[in-house]
Structure 1
Amino acid sequence: MSGTPRETGTTAGPTFIRPRVPEAQWNDWRWHMRRRITNIEKARQWINVSPDEEKAIAGVAGRYRWSITPYYASLMDPDDPLCPVRQQAVPATGELVEFSGAEVDPVGDTFYRKTNRVVHKYPDRVIMLVTEACPVYCRHCTRKFHTTDVNGTYFRDDEGGSFDEDLRYIAEHPEIRDVLLTGGDPLSYQDGKLEEIISGLRAIPSVEIVRIGTRFPVLLPQRITDELCAMLSRYHPVWLNTHFNHPKEITEEATAAVDRLLRHGIPVGNQTVLLRGINDDVATMRTLMTELLRIRVRPYYLYHCDNVTGVSHFMTSVEKGWEIMEGLQGHITGFGVPQYVLTTKIGKIPIAQPYFTPTPDGLLLRNYRGQQMAVDGAVHPITESDAR
C-alpha cells in the first residue's frame, strides 16, 4: 500500500485505519465525498488489492459504478479480501456471473412507479426515489440497476427535474399517509434541497409520516450533522431507517450519529440484509442485533438477499435464514429480533418459521429451546366461532 500516510487506532470495538489528516477535515462529510475511492490506484492506498479484486475492478469498468468513502475504507481490513466491510464495498467477480432467475428489478419498483419518482405498491404509503447517487455503491444493493449500473435507471425523466408531479400525485391520493424517501441515498443531497422536498410533503395534509432510508450513518456518519438533525426535527414526525450489516460497522462515529438523531427526536430503525460470507452465521447476527440495541437502534427487518442481477452471489438459502432466526429468538430480548422477510413483486412477505402448529384439539407450541406444549382449543379458542 502506498499514498496517504495513515495511522492505526481503535474505536469502541473494531480496528480502523485512517489517514493523518486534521480532525476538522476527517469530521467534514464533504471532505470524504470529494475524496471517494473510485479507481484501483486509490484503492491501493487503503488495501492490498487481491488478484480477484483487481480482475473484478477491471471487469465492472463501464458497467457498474463503485466508490468508497475514506471513512468506510478506514474500516476495511487491508490484508483480508473476506473482510465483511471490504466485501460490501469493493467489486467482486461474482457481480459478473449470470445466475438463474436473476432480475434487475425483482421487487417491482418499475411496475408500481406512478410518476418519475413515486412508487405506489401499498395502499397507504409510497416510496419516493429521490436520487441515484450513494456515498458508497453497496455491492449487494437491491436497486443495483438504478444506483450502480452505468446505463441503468428507474427514472423516466432526469433526476434533476421538478418534483411537482410527484408531490401532486401524493396530494391527489389522500389515502397516502406515509412517504419514504429513498434512492439512491436521499442524504446525498445538501440540506437545503432535502428540506425543500420534505417541506413539500409536509404541505400535503394527508401525509402524516415522512421516513428517510439512508445508509449514511454507516457509510459516512459525519453526514449526520447537528444542522441536518435540527432541520429534520422541524418536520416531525420524521423516522429514519438505516442499514448496518455487520458489528464492525458500529463505530464511535456511527454511535455518535445515531445519538444526534435520537436527541432531535428522530427514531432510528435498522434493516439488515442477510449476506453470504458477511453475516450468515448466528454469532455474527446475534452480536449485530445486541450492539444495535446498545446504541439504541431498533432492529426492524432482516431481508433475505434478493436475486438481483449482479448481486446473486450474496444470496443464502432460506434455510440459512431460518437457522439464524432460530438463533435469535429467545436468545436476545424480543424487540431485538428483526422480522425476516422476502421482498417480492407482491410485497414484503414474512418467512420466519412459525412457533406453533395447528392440531385438531388446539395448538402445539414450541419455544426457542425446542420444548413443546399443547394448548387446548377449549382454553384458547382457535377460531372466532369457538370464542365464548
Structure 2
Amino acid sequence: MAEEWKRLLSECITHPKQLLSRFKIDVEPLEAVVAKYPMKISKYYFNLIEEVDDPIWKQCVPSPLELQDVYGVEDPLNEEADSPIPGLVHRYPDRVLMCVSEQCATYCRFCTRKRMVGKSTLNPSLDLYLKQIEYVRNNPSIRDVLLSGGDPLMLSDDRIEFLLRKLRAIPHVEILRIGSRVPCTFPQRVTEKLCNIIKKYHPVYVNVHFNHPREITEESERACGLLADAGVPLGNQSVLLRGVNDDPKIMKELVQKLLKIRVRPYYLFQMDLVKGTYHFRTRVETGIKIIEALVGYTSGLAVPRYVIDAPGGGGKIPLQPNYVISMDDDKVVLRNYEGKIYVYPQPRENEISVRGLPSYGPQSRVNV
C-alpha cells in the first residue's frame, strides 16, 4: 500500500488530448505549447478542476499564451551564475539549494524553473548528488540546505533517505529543508513510511505550496497532518497569480484554511519574470493591497511575507504596506490597519540610565 503512489503517478495526464475525457475544448493550439513546455497533471489534481479556465485549470493546463511572452527570460533569477556545482545554487552566505529532481507530480505552468522541469537538462544522478554533498561538506559556512527541484518528494524513499542521511552527517549543517508541492498536487505520495524517514533526521522543515483555497481538501489535509505529526514544521509558499489568487478575499480564505491544517503561511511571491508566464503576472500594488487586507483583519500567524525574488539574482526583497508616516529624533508617526494615526515617542539616549527610563505617560504625549 505504501507504494501505491507509484502506480497513481503512472496515470498522470501528459497530453492535451487527455483533457477531452472531461472537457470539450480545441486541444490543437496546446500541442505546440507542450512541445516546448511539457505537460503533466496528476489525476488527483486534474479532478479538482471544476470548469475550463478556473483557478486550478490555469495552474496546470497549458495555454497558448505561454508562447506569446516576449518579456520573460529562461533563468530570471540567474541561478546558473550562482551554481558552482550543477544543480546547486549558493546565493546566500549560510545556505544552499540543491536541485535533486527534475520531476514533479504536476508541472505548474508558472514554474520559475520552467526551463528545466520535465526535461533532461540536469539529469540528477547519484554521482551528481555526491558532488553536491561534497561541496556542502567543504564549505563550513553552510548551515542550511534546501532540497528542491523539480520536487524532491518525487524521489524514491531510499533516495530521499540517502540525501538526508548524508547531509545530516555533516557537522556544520544544522537545518535541512524540503520544498515540495506534493502535499497539494499529489498528497498520496505522503505516506507514513516517508514521514518516518524524514523524522529520523530532524530538524527537517518542509515548505509546501498551496495557491488557492480549493487545493485544501481532505486528502491534502491528511498529507500535511502526517508530516506535522512526524514533527515536521510546515510553511507555505504561494505565488501571486493573475486570475488565481490575486484577490484579498481568496488569499484570506487560503491563509486561514492553511492554519487549520497546521501549515503556517510563509511567503507570498511576486511572479518571477519567467519566459512563458507573462499572463500570470500582477502589478506589485496588488500584492501590497492583499497584505494590507490581511494585517489586522486576521491573525498575524496567517500573514505571509510578500517578496520579490530580484531579477538577475539579487535575492528575496520583502515588500509591505507603509505604516510609517514620518519619523524623526523625537517621534514616529504611524498608521494602523484601520487608517488611524498614532504617535510613538522615541527614547532619548541621554535620558536612558541605570536608574530607569523616562516617563511616556499622558503628560508627555506628543501632538502631531
Answer whether TM exceeds 0.5 for this pair: yes
**Match for residue 342 of structure 2?**
373
1:342-357 aligned within 5 A: 342-344=308-310, 345-357=313-325
CA shift for structure 1 position 261: 0.5
Residues 5-64 of structure 1, C-alpha deviations (whole Å, 9 max, x = no match):
xxxxxxxxxxxxxxxxxxx79x9321221000011232222x31434xx24422213211
Q: Report what 2:12 is aligned to.
A: 36
**CA offsets, 1:244-287, max 9 Å, x none?**
00000000000011110011111111000000000000100000
**Shift in alpha-carbon separation, 1:120–1:268, aligned structure 2, 3 A:** same
- Give the match for residue 112 of structure 1: 82
Equivalent pair of 1:181/1:212 in contact (CA under 8 Å)? yes
- 1:270 maps to 236
Rounded to whole Å, the distance in 2 between the matches of 1:143 and 1:108 is 11
Which amino acid in 2 is paired with 1:362?
Answer: K
Instruction: Specify which of 64, 74, 82 is matched with residue 47 of structure 2.
Output: 74
Match of 1:227 among 179, 183, 193: 193
Alignment-mate amino acid for residue 318 of structure 2: P
SS of aligned partner of 1:207: coil
Is 1:134 the equivalent of 2:93?
no
* Deviation by residue 1:206-232 (Cα, 9 ceiling, x = unmatched): 111110000000011010000000011
Distance 1:307 1:138 in 2: 15
Alignment of 1:296-335 (within 5 A): 296-335=262-301
Kindly tell me: are residues 386 and 86 of structure 1, through their superposed partners in 2, closer, same or farther at Cα, counting changes over 3 Å? farther
Shift of 1:322: 1.0
State the match for 1:48 in structure 2.
23
- Residue aligning to 2:359: none
Q: Aligned in 2, Cα 1:56/1:349: closer, same or farther, shift over 3 Å?
A: farther
The 3-state SS of whatever aligns with 1:147 is coil
Which residue in 2 is equivalent to 1:88? Answer: 59
TM-score (structure 1 length as normaliser): 0.86
**Equivalent in the alignment of 2:125:** 160
Task: Work out whether residues 55 and 93 of structure 1, in 8 Å CA contact, stay in contact via their aligned partners in 2.
Answer: no
1:194 aligned partner: 160
* Contact 1:56-1:91 within 8 A present in 2 as well: no
- Classify 1:193/1:325 alpha carbon distance in 2 versus 1 (closer, same or farther; 3 Å): same
- Paired with 1:61 and 1:286, the residues of 2 have a C-alpha distance of 34
Q: Alpha-carbon deviation of 1:160? A: 2.1
Give SS of 2:147's match: strand
Report if the CA contact (8 A) 1:306-1:312 is conserved: no
The letter for the 2-side match of 1:115 is: I
1: distance between equivalents of 2:223 and 2:217? 10
Deviation for aligned residue 1:354: 2.6
Change (3 A) 1:211 1:96: same
Letter in 2 for 1:121: R
Structure 1 Cα separation of the partners of residues 297 and 29 of structure 2: 39
CA contact (8 A) 1:363 1:376 kept: yes
1:145 to 112, 115, 140: 115
Q: What's the CA shift string for 1:290-328, capped at 9, x where partnerless?
A: 000111100000000111101121000001111111111
What do the CA deviations read for 1:136-159 (whole angstroms, capped 9, x no partner)? 1000101111215x57x3x3xx42
Separation in structure 1 between the aligned mates of residue 65 and residue 133 of structure 2, nearest angstrom? 39
TM-score (structure 2 length as normaliser): 0.91
Residues 1:218 and 1:83: Cα distance change in structure 2 (over 3 Å): same
Listed as ranges, the matches of 1:17-32 within 5 Å are 28-32=4-8
Q: In structure 2, what is the Cα distance between the partners aligned to 1:255 and 1:386?
A: 54
Structure 1 stretch 114-123 or stretch 293-302: which is displaced more? Answer: 114-123
| Structure 1 contact 322–352 (Cα < 8 Å) conserved | yes
Q: 1:386 to 1:247 in 2, by over 3 A?
A: farther
Bigger Cα Rg: 2
Mapped pair 1:58 → 2:31: yes
Alpha-carbon deviations, 1:79-124, whole Å to 9, x = none? x222111111100121111233x11111121111111222100011
**Alignment partner of 1:122 is 2:92:** yes
SS of match in other structure, 1:240? strand
Q: What is the deviation of 1:356?
A: 1.2
**Percent of aligned pairs with the same amino acid:** 41
Instruction: Output the CA distance in 2 between the equivalents of 1:92 and 1:296.
Output: 34
Match of 2:69 among 62, 75, 98: 98
**Structure 2 counterpart of 1:279, which letter?**
N
Is the 2:69–2:277 Cα contact (8 Å) retained in structure 1? no
Give aligned pairs, total.
Answer: 349
Letter in 1 for 2:39: W
Hey, what's the Cα distance between the residues in 2 that align with 1:142 and 1:286?
A: 24
Q: Quick one: structure 1 residues 363 and 209, their matched pair in 2 at CA, closer, same or farther if it must change by over 3 Å?
A: same
Distance 1:293 1:116, change over 3 A: same
1:387/1:284 Cα in 2 relative to 1: closer, same or farther (>3 Å)? Answer: farther
